[in-house]
Amino acid sequence: MFKNREWFDHIFSCSVYPAWLEFRTQSKQTITMLCILAIPLLLGLVQYSVSRTTSENINRVYDRPQDRIAIYTRGLNGEHMVTKSEAVMIDDDLSKKVNALRVGWSRDLGATYDHKLADSKIQIKEANINYLEILIKQDETSKCQLCLFKEGNYFLVGPNTDSDLFQPGDSHLLLDKQTRFGGKFNEAWRDVELSSSIVVSTHSIISRLSDSPATARWVVEFEHVPTEKEILAIRTIINPNNPVSVLVESALTENETASHIRSLLGSSSQLFRYITLFIYVGIGVISQLLTMRKKRIEVALFRTLGASVKDLILKGLAEGLLLGLGSWLICFSFINLFQGYAIAFLPHMFSPVKLFEYLLSLFVSVALCCVFVAFAILLSVNRDPADVIRSTGE
Amino acid sequence: MKICNTELIEVENLSRVITTESKPRVLFEKLSLSVNQGESLAVTGPSGSGKSSLLEILSFMRKPDSGVVRFQGQSVDLDDSIHCDQLRSNKIGIVYQTALLIESQTVLENVVHGLRYTNIDHQIWDDLALYRLEQVGLIDLQDSLVVCLSGGERQRVCIARAIVKNPVLLVCDEPTSSLDKKSAESVIEVLQKLKNDDDTALVFSTHKSSISNVCDQIIDIASIKLSEIRTNIALPAGY
């Protein structure tokens, strides 16, 4: 215990305190260096914030119809448009990730599929040949949330927002009211008119069927960019006998799947991360090189006073710790000062920096600064102190 | 005058050769000398004659090409950097021609650096530093930044830092060469006082007679090349 105390005293008085003294007394130089080192840290954290928000926005397909994945398949029966084998019945695996994908339909008359969505019971029922009920209800008396109507070869969709206005089967009323709807439902209706296809929409799923007797087409909207596994699952659901025949295309870029887009996004984010790291290392190294002569003289001076190499390296590590911690604190203060405004005014660009990201940036900052300063000290220690001191007199 | 017979540092057959423009140049060869505790030695000679090199060897900052160095009767291996660091931190004080100080720190903080690597309890560091600052006449400037001091004051801070640990040997490499006459006199006065009051051995390199004249021994390094010389005690006149 006593030895530990002695060791601590030695470390403190020979390494930590001189480093602190130097850090404190060179105020202008220290503040400049801290501010410069805080810049790449700041860039890194802002990039994290922006990239996460972008990723979340891409995943929020609900608000971004251009990110829908279109799935085509060749219809097996032109007369019925949607056959049982083509029916989209989303399985539990998918529904765990995309709640509304629990919704589905079937051509089986009177067939009922029960699912749970949050606390509500979802019941999908083909009530008669003309319409399909999708009910979200607490009890039997609850009204229809969304209804899928069939008019000739068309399916029309009922609202879920104003559902209390409608009863299942009130198709005429629905059509009248449909014109009032804004947003997605309005678009859906227009789409029905223009392409003679129908759009079934909940908050999370849009299925569209063309009126071509030989082709069925669904547009499935996800709450997030679907993975390859999810896409395969959908293909299997649409055509269990031959999933490969189900074609998938992304609305984002022709012939590119959304997962590809996501991987591109990930790559660019990673590239930016490397660039930020490179800038940080560059600034760190340059700052050490600029103060190298001063550091060399100081090291020589301390060596003449009897400092060992170990003492000097420890002093360097303490100096790096202070530098890393200081620059991180500046970055932390700056982010906390402005991120509230950024998130409030530019919510589509920024999201709050998470604790993990703060801790990671602190670790990176301290570790890199310690490495830079310790390395600079090591280089200085290698120079003969007598030669360094002589050169100062010349 | 004190009579001290304890041998503090002794060198035997010391040689140092440097290479300039690809040609070896002998600075000194087979040099032997000894300094007793409480004695002073002045090393004189023209520029480039090897005064500083000799002092670097005597302060264990540089390894000679050949020869033996004994400190307090024990041979010192100059390859053993830990031992040399310990000797410098506890027993040897060094003052250079250039006043090497940490400019952004105060006089007191600079002097305390002299104690940082010693075995002395850190609780009395400030007291020791203040005592030495009083000795060198800078007690009133303890909180001043060294960047504000004159050349003579800066050199006195260096002396205070070198002697704050109460070294047995003080090595001074031309401590007054960059100072004006008045500042040089004040530095010499401090060193004389130190020699008289403490039992510290002093080794100077200088080409100023004002310093060499107050030393117990004088060695002209230029005249001992290629010859084996045992220094003689040459008391200056009137000392």
Q: Tens of pLDDT along B9-67?
A: 888 888 888 877 777 888 888 888 888 888 888 888 888 788 888 888 888 888 888 88
Specify if B236 maps to a domain: no
How far apart are alpha carbons A90 and A133 in whole angstroms?
17
| Single pTM value for the model | 0.62
Judge whether residue A128 has pLDDT over 60. no
Burial of A14 by CB count in 10 Å (0-12 exposed, 13-18 middle, 19+ buried)?
buried
Q: Is residue B238 part of a domain?
A: no
Contact between A305 and B82 using a beta-carbon 8 Å cutoff: no
Angstrom distance (rounded) from CA B30 to CA B227:
7
Q: Directed axis angle between helix A292-304 and helix B81-90, to 10°?
A: 80
Q: Are the beta carbons of A21 and B105 separated by less than 8 Å? A: yes
Report yes or no: B205 and B176 within 8 Å, Cβ to Cβ. Answer: no
Chain B CB within 8 Å of residue A18 CB = yes
Q: Is the pLDDT of residue A22 over 50?
A: yes
Half-sphere exposure of B222 (CA within 13 A, CB side): 9
Classify residue B86: in a domain, yes or no: yes
With beta carbons less than 8 A apart as the criterion, state whether B112 and B98 touch. Answer: no
Least confident of A58-62, A225-229, B36-40: A58-62
Which tokens belong to B168?
Answer: 């047995």
Contacts of B56 in chain A (CB under 8 A): 386
Residue A248's pLDDT is 57
Residue B92 near residue A14, CB atoms below 8 Å = no
From CA A346, how far away is CA B110, in angstroms rounded? Answer: 52
Report pLDDT digits (tens) over B20-31: 777 788 888 888
Least confident range from A102-116, A362-376, B7-21: namely: A102-116
Closest CB to B85: pick one of A298, A308, A384: A308
The residue written with tokens 């109460």 in the block is B166
The dihedral built from the CA positions of residue B202, B205, B208 and B212, taken in this order, carries a sign that is positive
Least confident of A164-178, A211-225, B38-52, B93-107: A164-178
Closest residue in B to A312 (Cα) is B117
- pLDDT at position A102, please? 26
Domain boundaries, chain A: 2-60+262-393, 69-250
B64, B65, B183, B219, B225 from B16: Cα distances, Å: 6, 5, 33, 16, 10
In a domain, B1, yes or no: no
Check CB contact under 8 Å for A304 and B98. Answer: no
Interface of B with A (CB under 8 A): 52, 56, 59, 61-62, 81-82, 85-90, 94, 96-98, 100, 102, 104-105, 109, 113-114, 116-118, 122, 161, 178
ipTM of the complex, rounded to two decimals: 0.82
Q: Which residue has the tokens 């002695």?
A: A6
> Are A384 and B102 inside 8 Å of each other by CB?
no
Question: Would you say residue B186 has pLDDT above 90?
Answer: no
Average pLDDT, chain B: 81
User: Number of folded domains in chain B?
Assistant: 1
Element (H, E) at A40: helix A27-59
Q: Specify which of A50-59, B67-76, B212-221 reaches the highest per-range mean pLDDT.
A: B67-76
From chain A, the residues in CB contact with B161 under 8 A are 305
Confidence band for A280, pLDDT divided at 50, 70 and 90: confident
Where b means 16+ CB within 10 Å and e means fewer, A360-379 reads ebbebbbebbbbbbbbbbee
Q: Is residue B93 part of a domain?
A: yes
Q: Summarize pLDDT for A131-150 with one digit per residue, the tens.
A: 344 443 444 454 444 444 43
In a domain, residue B53? The reply is yes
Structural domain containing residue B157:
7-230
> In chain B, which residue's Cα lies nearest the Cα of A20?
B105
Is the Cβ–Cβ distance between A226 and A258 less than 8 Å?
yes
Point out the least confidently predicted range of A256-265, A315-324, B20-29.
A256-265
The CATH number covering residue B116 comes to: 3.40.50.300
| Domain contains B127 | yes
Q: Per-residue pLDDT for A94 more than 80?
A: no
Which region among A29-43, A51-65, B121-135 has the lowest average model confidence (pLDDT)? Answer: A51-65
Q: Nearest to residue A112, comparing CAs of A130, A127, A131? A: A127
Which pLDDT band, with edges at 50, 70 and 90, does A265 fall under? low
Say if CB A338 and CB A381 are below 8 A apart: no
Q: B151-163 vs B125-135: helix axis angle to the nearest 10?
A: 130
Q: Which of A30-34, A169-173, B75-79, B128-132 has the highest mean pLDDT?
A: B128-132
Q: What is the pLDDT of residues A181-207, one digit of tens each?
A: 222 222 222 222 222 222 333 222 333
- Distance, in Å, from the CA atom of B7 to the CA atom of A48, rounded to the nearest integer, reads 69
Q: Is the pLDDT of residue A266 over 60?
A: yes
What three-state secondary structure class fits A107?
A: coil
DSSP state letters, chain B: ------EEEEEEEEEEEEEETTEEEEEEEEEEEEEETT-EEEEE--TTSSHHHHHHHHTTSS--SEEEEEETTEE--TT-HHHHHHHHHHTEEEE-SS----TTSBHHHHHHGGGTTSSS-GGGHHHHHHHHHHHTT-GGGTTSBGGGS-HHHHHHHHHHHHHTT--SEEEEESTTTTS-HHHHHHHHHHHHHHHHHS--EEEEE-S-HHHHTTSSEEEEGGG-TTS-EE--B-PPTT-
User: What residue of B is the nearest CA neighbor of A30?
Assistant: B104
